[in-house]
A and B are shown apart, each in its own frame.
Chain A
Amino acid sequence: MRETKYWAWHMAAGIVILVLLGLHMTTMHMGGLTGLFVSHPGEEATALVNSQARDARLSFAVGYIVLLGVALFHGFYGLRTILFELTLRPLTEKVITIVLVVAGLGLFGLGSWASLAAHARAIVPGG
């Protein structure tokens, strides 16, 4: 039952990622076509001024953290599912789960801190 619940979360996370990562990809890789969230149209979406302009917006900082959380869950749960299909011993399964949870939480902590710190730096003139 618990695995069914996790699988439902995995699918729901996929839909959230579709929206947020779709926006991210459209901004970063199709910005020339759409002009979406490009604060300085003369510059590339990946240019320093546009990167800092995005960091200065709280909505982007929050969006990055939400995307980070759902993408890490979706990715690591997907990896766990693939590994578990290889018919492993229960102890190996437990170790894999612990490693993936620790790695996921670690990356989530790092990315969340970076988003908030970059936002704080970007809203300070000359930061």
Chain B
Amino acid sequence: MGDIQHHDNRLGIWGWLGGGRWGPERYAYALHRISGLGILLYFTMHIVVTSLRATGIYLWTEGQLFDNVVFKVGEFLVFAAFAYHACNGIRLILVELGLAVGRPFEPVYPYRTSLAVQRPLLIVMMIVAGLLLAGGGAEFLRH
């Protein structure tokens, strides 16, 4: 048995941040995780703040903290993260269930990838996310 060379090929967190040759889906994947972690962070704080209403404190109605620009921008970012995460999540579920990658075919050169088959779905879902952002953005600007 020859010596096995060990390479440090663990990319860790940086492994899923780079798109490389994988194309836009890889960036969609990284953004899905970043938006998901952002939503989770907000969600845990949201649970604590909204739970105060059990004692009659509706903190978000008391102005000051929640009326400033920084908080409003943060609130819009959460909405944006949700819009993106939801639309991309629908695409991921459809792909996971094999509904958006086409029928299997014999791999004959020049090889084709199912990534190209599902790409129109990616584009459609990103347009839907964009429309949601525009609608939600208009509402935020109204305030």
**Interface segment out of the listed B19-27, B48-56, B101-109, B115-123:** B48-56
Please state if A51 and B51 are interface contacts (CB–CB under 8 Å): no
Q: How far is the CA of A51 from the CA of B59 in the complex (A)?
A: 11
Q: How far is the CA of A125 from the CA of B61 in the complex (A)?
A: 20
Q: Quick check: is B130 within 8 A (CB to CB) of the other chain?
A: no
Interface residues of A in 10-40 (CB under 8 A from B): 11, 14-15, 17-18, 21-22, 25, 29-33
Interface residues of B in 32-52 (CB under 8 A from A): 33, 36-37, 39-40, 43-44, 47-48, 50-52
Please state if B51 and A111 are interface contacts (CB–CB under 8 Å): yes
CB neighbours (8 Å) of A46 from chain B are 60-61
Main secondary structure of the interface of B (DSSP, over half): helix
Please state if B10 and A87 are interface contacts (CB–CB under 8 Å): yes
Q: Quick check: is A79 within 8 A (CB to CB) of the other chain?
A: yes
Q: Quick check: is A58 within 8 A (CB to CB) of the other chain?
A: no
Q: How far is the CA of A21 from the CA of B85 in the complex (A)?
A: 12
Please state if B43 and A48 are interface contacts (CB–CB under 8 Å): no
CB neighbours (8 Å) of A72 from chain B are 43
A-B pairs with CB below 8 Å: how many? 83
CB neighbours (8 Å) of A29 from chain B are 75, 79, 136, 139-140
Beyond A110-B47, A111-B51, is A14–B139 a contact (Cβ under 8 Å)? no
Q: Which residue of B lies closest to A71 (CB)?
A: B43
Q: Which 5 A-B pairs have the closest CB atoms?
A: A114-B51, A117-B54, A114-B54, A75-B40, A48-B61
Could you write out 28 A-B pairs with CB less than 8 Å apart?
A14-B89, A18-B89, A21-B86, A29-B79, A29-B136, A30-B135, A31-B139, A32-B139, A33-B139, A46-B61, A48-B58, A51-B58, A72-B43, A75-B40, A75-B43, A79-B37, A82-B33, A86-B12, A87-B10, A110-B48, A110-B51, A113-B51, A114-B51, A117-B54, A117-B55, A118-B53, A121-B54, A127-B56
Binding site for B on A (CB under 8 A): 11, 14-15, 17-18, 21-22, 25, 29-33, 44, 46-48, 51-52, 55, 68, 71-72, 75-76, 78-79, 82, 85-87, 107, 110-111, 113-115, 117-118, 121, 127
